[in-house]
Amino acid sequence: MSLRVIVFLLAACNVFCQDLPGGAAHWWEQEPLRILHLVTSMGQINFMPARELVRKKAALYFNTEHLEVMNLPAGLDDEGWFFRSPLAARMNPDYLGEYLHEAKKHGGLRIIVYFDVTWFNKQFAAKHPEWLQIREDGTPLDGIFSTGTALCINSPYREWLFQVVRDLCAYPIDGIFFDGPIFYPETCFCRYCREKFKTQYGLPLPSKKERRGKAFADLMKFQAESLADALRDTRRIIKGVNPEIAFYMNGGVRGANWATARFNRVLVAEQDLLGSEGGFLNGDLK
């Protein structure tokens, strides 16, 4: 089994601490974060007892991590969750609860839960066809990482997503990291996007093939603001539980971001940190 480690390149966003009494700093602002992301979702989430894994990570001087608690068998579904949620289709061991208990005991490793909110497998998508991202020709998006599809944040999928976030926030976690949400080069032309655009702009959704002019600028603004809406609503739920749960997403790259609409200058306002995935080290690094 090949596992990957992701090195996160992070820049703390310039948000001052107005929401804490006395201007105290949030935990993620107090020292440089050394974030480990061991990709276990392609293997087995609970491959090692929580106590042992926490001890090993702390001994390597990581002070923060992205912890994976959901299997990604060719994309996310609701079968392989290792935490408690009424939306889980199958009851697996509560590894998140056990892991957090051990992390609090051993050196205070900060636990940010990794949540892939974009890549879903075909079986899950088949149960929710109205949530799929749709191409301009009306066909549902497929072929994401060659096995899966992506769901649209403007569809009722968002309510499902918010419930999973509430379930994660019932645990004493330190943060939630979203991988996504994003659009794709050919998307999204689902009925929810078309209706939302029509309401906001009074026009049909413009083509994503003609990448110039005001119509395309409007489309980019619409898509970026749709992602921002989702982040804002998610963050409101998280901060309503605990303002010390950090929230951020896998940000845009230093290059063209029109395909995904992942524009950091728009999206940073809804996040506690700005980060972009990079530096994959492949092989079994457990």
Binding residues for Zn ion, rule: CB under 5 A, are: 152, 154, 188, 190, 193
CB of 195 to Zn ion, least distance (A): 9
What end-to-end distance do the CA atoms of the chain give, in Å?
A: 10
CB of 222 to Zn ion, least distance (A): 10
Q: Which is nearer to Zn ion, 96 or 205 (CB)?
A: 205
The contacts of residue 103 (CB under 8 Å, 6+ apart) are 54, 109, 110, 111
How far, CA to CA in Å, does 74 sit from each of 100, 135, 147, 150?
Answer: 27, 21, 5, 12
Q: Which is nearer to Zn ion, 186 or 277 (CB)?
A: 186
CB of 249 to Zn ion, least distance (A): 18
Q: Which is nearer to Zn ion, 82 or 197 (CB)?
A: 197
CB of 198 to Zn ion, least distance (A): 13
Q: Which is nearer to Zn ion, 81 or 184 (CB)?
A: 184
Q: Is 1 exposed, middle or buried (0-12, 13-18, 19+ CB in 10 A)?
A: exposed
Distance CA 96, CA 67 (A): 9
Site of tokens 């799929």:
132
CB of 183 to Zn ion, least distance (A): 8
Give the amino acid at 237.
I
Q: Which is nearer to Zn ion, 99 or 192 (CB)?
A: 192
Q: Which is nearer to Zn ion, 38 or 141 (CB)?
A: 141
Q: How many CB atoms within 10 Å of residue 135?
A: 18
Bridging pattern class, strands 4-11 and 35-38: antiparallel
CB of 142 to Zn ion, least distance (A): 15
Best CA proximity match to 285, nearest among 8, 38, 18, 13 = 38
